[in-house]
Amino acid sequence: MAAFLQKGSKNILQKQPHDIVFLSALRTPVTRAKKGGFKDAHDHELLAHVLKATLAAHPNLDPHLINDIQIGTVLSELGGHKAGRMAAIHAGVPETVAFQTVNRACSSGLAAITGVAHAIAMGQIDIGIGGGMESMTRNYGSRAIPTQLWEELRDSPVQNARDCVMSMGITAENVAERYGVSRAEQDAFAARSHQKAAKAQREGLFDKEIVEVTTRWHPDAEKPEAAEEITVRKDDGIRPTSSAESLAKMKPAFKPDGTATAGNSSQVSDGAAATLMMRRSTASALGLEKDIIGKWAGTQVIGCKPDEMGIGPALAIPKLLEYTGVSKEEIGIWEINEAFASQAIYCVRTLGIDEDLVNPKGGAIALGHPLGATGARQLATLLPEMERQGKEMGVISMCIGTGMGMASLIVRE
């Protein structure tokens, strides 16, 4: 273990000058692709809004002191770098602040946050912003399958290589079949996600993490000149009336006799998120210590078979716990991305954790899964909930297309 990381909960919970801390974790609403409030917005437009809000949240921080920004994105044109850099400068970030995008598929937002954490820990930078952006409305035309692929790979004799481009829905079906997750269980899990999210939304529990966005809206796609200006303040994919019974009526989405449906799978979505990070000693020197809301305490990644990529969290989380010396009983909240109900159920069961501690405000089935932004969205959702419940430690984890899992340990201040 690197010298800058503490091992064991007693050490991790102590405040040290070298801690990598979060001062804010904000997100846009997450909206339904092609139907929701951001259907006419750009991913980098959403990024500009959340970066501007991040700067505004810290008026006593000179933005020239920020060293680097890392933003996760999966589908953006040219990897999102040019438009993302433009958005950062447009939002008020000085041109002296470096910028890069990160693509580790569904974990890209968390990978970006981890990248900033590593740079701070190694002394490369003092202050950074990690986050993610995605417009699946604009960029999901190929369903995240390569349109240009070397023929030798497409016909590779290595099954795992070919399976890297398998439909994510079929991987969900594989998990359900191989590990005995029934359709009824998936529908019940999905309904609970919507019910938890609806309750949280009614009670205003998302308000602290959400940045409202004013954007264009075209009521009629055939009349682009009839654009309206709207302000999006809430996630719009949550279905308060969703039930296991109503979900049971939906047809399989990926194979005729399958169990994965549009209702028990994550939503295709648009959104962005960002978190301001620095070393604790830097925050103290700048008089910003009172703004600290949590700290990053380690990340682990691991690979698995591409055709059952959904089991990734069940492998990454034990690796994280062993790496940090923390037991699962010490984790107060688990943010495990709900790519599909089948894989989420499998992971919760295999890990032996209490489902009541998993995604207490709902997960991607209800909130949506804007690929590159999801990890950062999970952090923005986790930290206020840890504060509300008085929990000291939480874990963010997700499966990753092509067969991987990622997990990070987060500590509340």
Per-residue pLDDT of the chain (413 residues; tens, 9 = 90+): 455 677 999 999 999 999 999 999 999 999 999 999 999 999 999 999 999 999 999 999 999 999 999 999 999 999 999 999 999 999 999 999 999 999 999 999 999 999 999 999 999 999 999 999 999 999 998 888 898 999 999 999 999 999 999 999 999 999 999 999 999 999 999 999 999 999 999 999 999 999 999 999 998 877 777 889 999 999 999 999 999 999 999 999 999 999 999 999 999 999 999 999 999 999 999 999 999 999 999 999 999 999 999 999 999 999 999 999 999 999 999 999 999 999 999 999 999 999 999 999 999 999 999 999 999 999 999 999 999 999 999 999 999 999 999 999 999 99
Closest CA to 400 of 293, 292, 335, 311: 311
In the block, tokens 């820990």 appear at: 121
Cβ–Cβ < 8 Å for 130, 115:
yes
Catalytic residue among 164, 304, 347, 399: 399
Helix (H) or strand (E) holding 279: strand 269-279
Is 164 among the residues known to form the active site?
Answer: no
pLDDT at position 3: 53
The predicted pLDDT at position 144 comes to: 86
What sections of 266-373 are H helices per DSSP?
Answer: 280-285, 312-324, 341-351, 364-367
pLDDT at 227: 86
Contacts of 230 (CB under 8 A, 6+ apart): 37, 214, 215, 216, 217
Is residue 266 helix, strand or coil?
A: coil
Write down the catalytic residue from 42, 49, 106, 194. 106
pTM of the full predicted structure?
Answer: 0.97
Assigned token pair, 42 = 């750009």
d(CA 288, CA 295): 14
3-class state of residue 276 by DSSP: strand
Pairing mode of beta strands 393-400, 333-336: parallel
* Annotation says 304 is catalytic: no
Give 317's DSSP letter. Answer: H
Query: 3-class DSSP state for residue 133?
Result: strand
Catalytic residue among 42, 44, 49, 369: 369
Among left, alpha and beta (phi > 0; psi -120 to 50; other), residue 298 is left
Per-residue model confidence (pLDDT) at position 223: 77
Active site residue 399: yes
pLDDT at 37: 97
Cα separation of 244 and 12, whole Å? 40
Which neighbouring-strand residues pair with 412? Answer: 294
Ordered DSSP codes for 37-60: TTTTS-HHHHHHHHHHHHHHT-TT
